[in-house]
Amino acid sequence: MARKIVITSGKGGVGKTTVCCNLAVQLARRGYRVIVCDLDFGLNNADVVLGVENRALYDVLDAVEGRCRAKQALVSHPRYPTLYVLSSNRVLERYISPQAIRLILDTLSPQFDFILIDSPAGIEDGFHRAASCAEEALLVTTPHISALRDADRVAGILKSYQFSSVGLIVNQVRRERRRGGMLAPDEIASALRLPLTGVVAEDDKLFRENIVSRSRAFRALAETCIDTVVTRKKRG
Ligand SMILES: Nc1ncnc2c1ncn2[C@@H]1O[C@H](COP(=O)(O)OP(=O)(O)OP(=O)(O)O)[C@@H](O)[C@H]1O
Ligand SMILES: [Mg+2]
C-alpha cells in the first residue's frame, strides 16, 4: 500500500508544488513507485513543473466522474519510469468530495509506494479535501515572518487530523550571512513544535527554470528529507 503524504502550507507560494514534485523525482530516482496527485484545483501546476502538461488524456475529475478508470488518469513521466502524475483541471466551480478522491487513491494505492498530494494554500475546502485524503503530512514554510504565522495556524489544524506523522520542510533558506533577521530552520521547527524533516536552500536556478532534479537544492533535499521519509517507513 502506498503511503499518502499531503504537502501543505499556510501561505501561498512558499514552494509546496516545487517540494512535492522534486521529492517525487528523488524518490522515483531511487526506484520507488510514486504518484504526484495534484489536488490544487485552483492553480493545478504540478504537471507543468514536472513537464508532462501535454501528455494527459484524463485527469482526476475524469476518474472521479467515471469517464476513465483510475489507472487511465495517470500520466507517466517520460524520464522516470516509476513516476506518475494524477493531474487536475481548473474546477473551482464544482464541488468534489474528499470521499470520491479517496476512493480513486485507494484503488491505485496497492501498486505504489508513495502518493504525494499537492494541496492548495490556506485553510479552505481545498486544503481540507487534500488533508483528508492523506495519512501523513509535510508542512512547507519559508523562514519569512508572514509565512511562519500562517504555518503556525496550519500546524494547529493538522494536529486535529491525527496523522501518523507531521513533518516540517523549511524552504528557500538563505546562507547564514544573508539571513538578516530570519530564524534558522531548527528555531522554526521548535517554534512550530514540529520535527524538521528537510531544509531546502534558496536556489536561483529554480527561479529561472522552474525545473526538477537539476536543482542543487533539491538534490540536497534527497539527503535529508527522503532519508527521513524512507527510514520512517522501515521503522513503522
Ligand atoms: N528553494 C527554492 N529556491 C528558489 N526558488 C524556489 C524554491 N522553492 C520554490 N521556488 C520558487 O517559488 C515559486 C513558488 O513555488 P511553488 O509554486 O512551488 O509554491 P506553492 O506553495 O506551490 O504555491 P501555491 O500556493 O501558489 O500553490 C516558484 O516560482 C518556484 O520556482
Ligand atoms: Mg502549488
In angstroms, the CA 213 to CA 217 distance is 9
- Which atom of ligand 1 is nearest the CA belonging to 140? 21
Mean pLDDT of 93-112: 92
Q: How confident is the model at residue 236 (pLDDT cuts 50, 70, 90)?
A: very low
Centroid of ligand 1 to alpha carbon of 121 (angstroms): 12
Q: Is 12 in the pocket of ligand 1 (CB under 6 A)?
A: yes
Phi, psi of 120 (to 5 degrees): -70, 160
Q: What is the tens place of the pLDDT at every residue in 172-226?
A: 998 766 667 789 999 999 999 999 999 988 887 766 555 565 666 677 676 666 6
Is the pLDDT at 234 greater than 50? The verdict is yes
Q: What is the tens place of the pLDDT at every residue in 20-69?
A: 999 999 899 889 999 999 999 888 899 999 999 899 899 999 999 999 99
Mean pLDDT of 153-179: 89
Is the pLDDT at 116 greater than 70? The verdict is yes
Centroid of ligand 1 to alpha carbon of 58 (angstroms): 26
Pocket residue to mutate for ligand 1, from 206, 209, 212, 218, most atoms within 8 A of Cβ? 206
The mean pLDDT value of the chain amounts to 88
- How many domains is the chain partitioned into structurally? 1
pLDDT of residue 6: 97
Name the closest ligand to CA 121.
1
pLDDT of residue 79: 93
Q: Is 171 in the pocket of ligand 1 (CB under 6 A)?
A: yes
Nearest CA to ligand 1 atom 15: 15
Centroid of ligand 2 to alpha carbon of 6 (angstroms): 12
The pTM of the full predicted model, rounded to 2 decimals, is: 0.93
Record the cell numbers describing residue 179, joined without a space: 539571513
- Which atom of ligand 1 is nearest the CA belonging to 20? 18
Mean pLDDT of 143-159: 94
- Which atom of ligand 1 is nearest the CA belonging to 205? 4
What percentage of the chain reaches a pLDDT higher than 90? 67
Mean pLDDT of 146-174: 94
What percentage of the chain reaches a pLDDT higher than 70? 84
In angstroms, the CA 83 to CA 61 distance is 20
**Is the model more confident about 220 or about 74?**
74
Q: Is 13 in the pocket of ligand 1 (CB under 6 A)?
A: yes
Q: Please give the distance of CA 111 from its chain centroid, rounded to a whole number.
A: 19
pLDDT of residue 202: 86
- Which residue range(s) make up the domain with 127? 3-235
Name the closest ligand to CA 18.
1
**Residue 136, domain CATH:** 3.40.50.300
pLDDT of residue 96: 86
pLDDT of residue 93: 64
